[in-house]
Structure 1
Amino acid sequence: MTNQVAIKAHTQPGDELICSDSAHIFIYEGGGIASNSGVQARCLPGDEGGRITAAQVESAINPDDIHLPRSTLVCLENTTNKPGGAIYSLKSMQAIFKVARANGLQCHLDGARLFNAMVASGHTFPSEPSSDSSHQPIANGHVAEENEQGCSYGPLEVGACFDSISICLSKGLGCPVGSLLLGTHDFIARARRIRKAMGGGMRQAGFLAAAGLFALKYNVNRLACDHARAKQLGAALASLDRSRFITKIKPFTTNIVVFELGEDFDGQAMKEALAARGILVSSFGKRLMRFVTHLDVTDYQIADATQALREVQQDMMSR
């Protein structure tokens, strides 16, 4: 709901927003851009990681012409979802924000996995050790890698690039439910009214907020462990047959591993075969598959998943 509330708060019916053609707000939010806000989307082709550039954004901004919708909002996604958990560099976000500002557009970030992006960029958050050992990093010696520009970034740097940011607490951070929408005082005042009208009001929300506070305090730096385990899964996939069975593994830097099966194999059959071995995988269509690591996934389970992949490959290729 945070993304949809933000879009409605930033726009008027008949406006146009600019986003990647793989953006979650465009593909996976039930047509909410149109049905909630009366806004249309100008979708730009992203790179292999689903990222768009400042040059693309600038070329997509409509001139002031009564025949054209008003370009009013740029929406980015960091990390990306469907394209495989890629992160934007700070330089790219700054450049897009500069173009948007120069043309009078607002910028919104779908930061459902923003903390994954910041940790992957090399940023370290201050935290207090948890008394519960299950919340401690247990991957072997993983150190967050810098992004391709070699520039880490944290909340202050990201916040300077956007007018609003949505953050999910129930993905890598491990909360049972919950998201945050960040913005100026006036923006949040508008957003609260919109949230209420959309049915998003809640009573006794403090119980859920307590889980969010715990996650923000203890579960951020440990995201590097999820990234390390995703790399182990990627390595396991890379060790399988690459000519027929696994034909493509998308580049990944965070906790999402997206891969494609060969044309002779069916994703649903693979899902069922892995599920029978206690391993869950999601799919995008018939052959595109996705693994996601999180704080409930252990090193032992990664080993189990690796063995399960080998067994499933053997079974499916022998048919």
Structure 2
Amino acid sequence: MKTVDLRSDTVTQPTPAMRAAMMAAPLGDDVFGDDPTVNALQDHIATITGKQAALFMPSGTQSNLCGILAHCQRGDEYIVGQNAHTYRFEGGGAAVFGSVQPQPLVQDVAGRMALADIAAAIKPDDMHFARTRLLCLENTWNGNVMPDGYLHEATQLARDHGLATHLDGARVFNAAVASAAPGQGAMARVREIANHFDSLSVCFSKGLGAPVGSALCGSRELIERARRLRKMAGGGLRQAGFLAAAAHHALDHHVDRLAADHGLATRLADGLKDVNGLKVRSAQTNIVFVDVATGRGPALLEFLSQNGVLATGLIGLRFVTHLDVDAAGIDHALTTIRRFFAELPAVPPAGAAAGSAVY
């Protein structure tokens, strides 16, 4: 059986139809602004998100970086969750490259910072403090959809204090597919989520299956500032239409099918719930986190790899479904995990014993 790669939805390969779209793309020089395929993609994603403009970026990290730096100046700060991607997993770029200070706050299990904590973190206009300029949120959060009520309350609080707002929407299409009202459609739901924010970053290279790329969406003025920042960060591309065509194809053909990924994640989570030694944190979209009792996480990862299943263990075991995974692959992963535990002495449920190690 072929390897079942559940490490991330970034491992997808372009489909034959996507490859054909890439090869057929008309090209220009995007630094001069004359690549027609890039321009068409930017117009398309700006329309979808309801923003005035958008800018194609090589990566989500660069898109978030340019977004934060377009909102903030040296000596400013942004409020962000302690475990948020824009703070914890992007190399400290805003601080390193922009001298923009992060103000991380504790989050609950749903990824929410308490509104009172956000309000308390906003600094007075005093020379002793960094200037608080921006609130950053994330959707989805660990595979779950951030509730609309919270998005509204948090961004309204920010606006009431004169702050701008930015969404790390790397998997916002997953959030939209999972939470769209009956008959609403994913694109309308994406716009509804985006309306809470002044800017958002959207990934094409995760669940949508493009090989490269993200977009920063916002006002024309913000995008023009970000364009300069992108050039400074080495993100000015030439005949980028090859990559933009893949992203455009993904928007046109790979959004609704995200529901299939969500279904496979549910299949995996449900199949693991009765495995002694595991605690499954079920997700609403395409990511499943699993806590492993008694420190056996590394051994399980190794066993999975030896038997053709790949996962990650940075923050507990994480399994991510995507367009290159099917039901047979999920069933193989389930069988392999069950076999690992069947060959071990009995263990207490994950997190049940006092002081037991998780992963």
- Are 1:210 and 2:245 counterparts? yes
Question: How far apart, in 2, do the equivalents of 1:234 and 1:56 lie?
Answer: 33
| Alignment TM-score, normalising by the size of structure 1 | 0.85
State the match for 1:24 in structure 2: 85
Alignment of 1:196-207 (within 5 A): 196-207=231-242
Q: Amino acid of the residue matched to residue 31 of structure 1?
A: G
Select the structure that is richer in helix.
2
Hey, what's the Cα distance between the residues in 2 that align with 1:317 and 1:203?
58
Q: Report the secondary structure of 1:41's partner residue.
A: strand
> Is residue 332 of structure 2 the alignment partner of residue 304 of structure 1?
yes
Change beyond 3 A, Cα 1:23–1:169: same
Counterpart Cα distance in 1 of 2:230 and 2:139: 23
Q: Displacement, 1:156?
A: 2.5
Cα RMSD after superposing both structures: 1.8
Q: By how many angstroms is 1:43 displaced? A: 1.3
Asked if 1:166 is matched to 2:194, the reply is: no
**AA of the residue aligned to 2:294:** E
For 1:43-122, list aligned pairs within 5 A. 43-80=104-141, 84-122=142-180
Question: 2: CA distance between counterparts of 1:298 and 1:251?
Answer: 19
Percent of paired sites with the same residue:
43
CA distance in 1, matches of 2:121, 2:331: 46
Deviation at 1:178, TM superposition (A): 0.7
Relative distance call for 1:67 and 1:213 in structure 2 (3 A) is same
Per-residue CA deviation, residues 268-295 of structure 1 (Å, 9 max, x unaligned), is: 221111011111110125xx11000111
The one of the two structures with greater contact order (alpha-carbon pairs below 8 A, sep at least 6) is 2
Please tell me whether the aligned partners of residues 18 and 44 of structure 1 are also in contact (alpha carbons under 8 angstroms).
Answer: yes
Q: Which amino acid aligns with 2:136?
A: C
- In structure 1, which of residues 273, 282, 297 is the aligned counterpart of residue 303 of structure 2? 273
Question: Are 2:311 and 1:262 equivalent residues in the alignment?
Answer: no
Query: Structure 2 vs 1, CA of residues 126 and 167 (structure 1 numbering), >3 Å: closer, same or farther?
Result: closer
Structure 1 residues 156-195: aligned runs within 5 Å: 156-195=191-230
Cα contact 2:71–2:134 (8 A) shared by 1: yes
Tell me what 1:150 maps to.
none
CA positional deviation for 1:250: 2.2
Structure 1: distance between partners of 2:268 and 2:114: 30
**Structure 2 residue ranges without an equivalent (≥5):** 1-61, 348-359
Cα distance in 1, alignment partners of residues 171 and 65 from structure 2: 17
Displacement of 1:231: 0.9
Cα offset, 1:50, TM superposition: 1.7
Q: Is the 8 A contact 2:186 2:255 kept in 1?
A: no
- Once residues 130 and 344 of structure 2 are traced to their aligned partners in structure 1, the CA distance between those partners, rounded to angstroms, is 50
| CA–CA distance in structure 2, aligned partners of residues 313 and 126 of structure 1 | 39
One-letter identity of the residue aligned with 2:81: S
Structure 1 residue ranges without an equivalent (≥5) = 128-152
1:68-126 Cα deviation digits (max 9, x unpaired)? 2111010001012xxx3121112211111111111111101000000011111125537
- Please say if residues 173 and 186 of structure 2, whose CA atoms lie closer than 8 Å, have aligned partners that are also in contact: no
How many residues align? The count is: 284
For 1:231 and 1:299, how far apart are their aligned partners in 2?
11
On the 8 A contact 1:3/1:166 being kept in 2, the answer is yes
- Give the distance between the partners of 2:335 and 2:282, measured in 1 at CA: 22
- TM-score w.r.t. length of structure 2: 0.75
Structure 2 CA distance for aligned equivalents of residues 264 and 213 of structure 1? 43
3-state SS of 1:263 partner: helix
Q: Is the contact made by 2:77 and 2:134 (CA closer than 8 Å) also made in structure 1?
A: yes
Tell me, in whole angstroms, the C-alpha distance in 1 between the residues paired with 2:153 and 2:246.
35
For residues 184-229 of structure 1, what are the alpha-carbon distances to aligned partners after superposition, in whole Å with 9 as ceiling and x for unaligned?
1111000010000000111111111111111101111111111111
Within 1, Cα distance between the matches of 2:139 and 2:186? 21
CA contact (8 A) 1:174 1:215 kept: yes
